[in-house]
Amino acid sequence: MLKKLFFSPIKNHIVVNDRWGKGVTGKHGGFLTYSDHYDPGHIVERKWENCMTLDKNAWGYRRDMKASDVYTVYELVTQLIRTISCNGNLLLNVGPDKYGRIDPIFVDRLTEFGKFINFFEEAIFGTKPWIHQSDSAMIW
């Protein structure tokens, strides 16, 4: 019975995450999703997703947010590298205000992060994790 629930004639042509029920994260879907800001520190055999926000404290817009509440470009790059090295994809959320505007600090972070990604795209896109994820505390 359970097998019939998960059968789909198009299952090999779509991507589905596993954030759809209690106690099922990290078990089903085209890629695995765990807790927010998930960082296993080791290779995960199946593709997985690191869901995080630019704001360290919220997924949505906060009027009282301070600059210190926003990840630095260095912290974002570090998380991207750790995620890629462990066979993951990075989902980075930005919370707009009630008018749909993006806070200038978010624009700045995304612009600088984008410059890093564009410069090092050959080392990011289409790569595969090596057999070791960490050679030291700062080398991933």
Q: Are 46 and 32 contacting, i.e. CB atoms less than 8 angstroms apart?
A: yes
Per-domain boundaries in the chain:
17-123
Q: Are 133 and 140 contacting, i.e. CB atoms less than 8 angstroms apart?
A: yes
Q: Are 134 and 85 contacting, i.e. CB atoms less than 8 angstroms apart?
A: yes
Q: What is the distance between the alpha carbons of residues 76 and 97, in angstroms, rounded to a whole number?
A: 22
**60 DSSP assignment:** S
Q: How many residues does the chain have?
A: 140
Residue 113 pLDDT: 97
* pLDDT averaged over 10-residue windows placed end to end, the chain, 140 residues: 60 66 69 78 84 94 95 95 89 94 96 96 83 65
Residue 44 pLDDT: 81
